[in-house]
Amino acid sequence: MSSELQNIKNRFGIIGNFPALNRALEKSIQVAPTDISVLVIGESGVGKEFIPKIIHSESKRKHQPYIVVNCGAIPEGTIDSELFGHEKGAFTGATATRKGYFEVADGGTIFLDEVGELPLQTQVRLLRVLESGEFMKVGSSQVQKTNVRIVAATNVNMMKAIHDGRFREDLFYRLNTVQIDMPALRERKGDIHLLFRKFAIDFAEKYRMPELELEPGAVHYVENYTFPGNVRQLRNLVEQMTVVERNRHVTVEKLAEYIPMETHLPMVVNTPNSQKQSDFGSEREIMYKILFDMRNDINDLKSLTSELIKNRGNSDLSNQEKNLINRIYTPEPQQNTAPNSLLYFEDNSNNQTVQTPTIISSPEDSYEDFEDIEIEENRPESLSLQNNEKDLIIKALEKHKGRRNKAADELGISQRTLYRKIKQYNLEE
């Protein structure tokens, strides 16, 4: 290992000798003297934030401003103002002219964390800054210049985001002049015990307590755990055990109480089949809620109809009602009579045979056993995702008295998605 790399590790408190980690640090040192853009790729909690710090500290901009922007934490409606500033009166609440991060950091470095969460409109503005160093404040027509080094990071699968239309391809290639990949902690098995000991010493000093020590079996256990939260999860684990545990010698049994090996927590992995929750996933969940509600309504209607038939009695039914029920629940001879088979009946209103599938529980069922039969009816007008989605959002907002964070949790979607839907359906008060 070169002395320069070791000095960087010592200065920033980086522990580990995994080859992929060393390679990421070496690339950071190599690109630091230049002004090219860098994109850091890695799962949440792997320590991506160290890379832009190293790049800035080793560059000619090290005495200029260094600004960190968490793109996923800024609301969509205000992120343009945060990044590029705004003029007085540009929007409601803009009582004075404000400088944005790109103006404040002129000559320095901006770290765009979670850059994959940027709205498309903001991506267009950012692309212009990367191409020409020009930007305009919100509400202004005056072009301003800035000289900023941009380092971005994300745990999103960028190629899938591009394919889904959530990220601009031209912006991706502008940001990704140099790509630095940070390895997951589960790939660095040899570094896990070193990190545990480092955190144990730090927290023992912080809380003035004896440091934790892993028994041999516990070392093997912790090195083979997947750590979905990566280094951040390991650090939190050591801090919790330092404060809570009285016995400073950690056994396998005690460690298993905190991180059970059979626990499968959700991991953010940079693969095509997994990513953070997207708008598509949120809308799909809403659709499932709608379909389940429809099924409950159908079952309620079935029970109500069954009660009416029982109360009126078989003898009180008209011939037309009896024929209709028999046509629905009596399979034709050529149809499969196995349980849960599909039957078809004719609609003679237009002298046409319309095959309408209806699910029955068995061929012996009759209208007396109506409550034991599940019917799926086609209701095209109620299958409009947009209409039902709007109604669900209205009900959620009314239930929580306009508190959007509570409504978003109720609907199972992110607050950003909820804000966009409120704007889309003109539900703002």
Token couple for 33: 């003297």
User: How does pLDDT run across 204-247, given as a tens digit for each residue?
Assistant: 999 999 999 999 999 999 999 999 999 999 999 999 999 999 99
What value does the mean pLDDT take over residues 165-175? Answer: 96
Confidence check: pLDDT of 49 > 50: yes
Confidence check: pLDDT of 198 > 60: yes
pTM confidence score: 0.61
User: How does pLDDT run across 388-406, given as a tens digit for each residue?
Assistant: 788 888 888 888 888 888 8
Confidence check: pLDDT of 373 > 80: no
Query: Which domains are delineated in the chain?
Result: 3-181 (3.40.50.300), 185-258 (1.10.8.60), 292-381 (no CATH), 384-424 (1.10.10)
Distance CA 259, CA 256 (A): 5
- Cβ atoms of 69 and 88 within 8 Å: the answer is no
Region of residue 234 (phi > 0: left; psi between -120 and 50: alpha; otherwise: beta): alpha
Give the contacts of 101 (CB within 8 A, at least 6 positions apart). 67, 69, 82, 83, 84, 110
- Cβ atoms of 410 and 392 within 8 Å: the answer is no
- Residue 217 carries which side chain, given as an amino acid letter? G
Token couple for 324: 């209709």
Strands 38-41, 149-154: pairing kind = parallel
User: How does pLDDT run across 263-303, given as a tens digit for each residue?
Assistant: 444 444 444 444 444 444 456 666 666 776 777 777 766 66
The burial of 108, by beta-carbon neighbours within 10 Å (0-12 exposed, 13-18 middle, 19 or more buried), is given as: buried
Confidence check: pLDDT of 374 > 60: no
Rg (alpha carbons) of the chain, rounded to whole number: 31
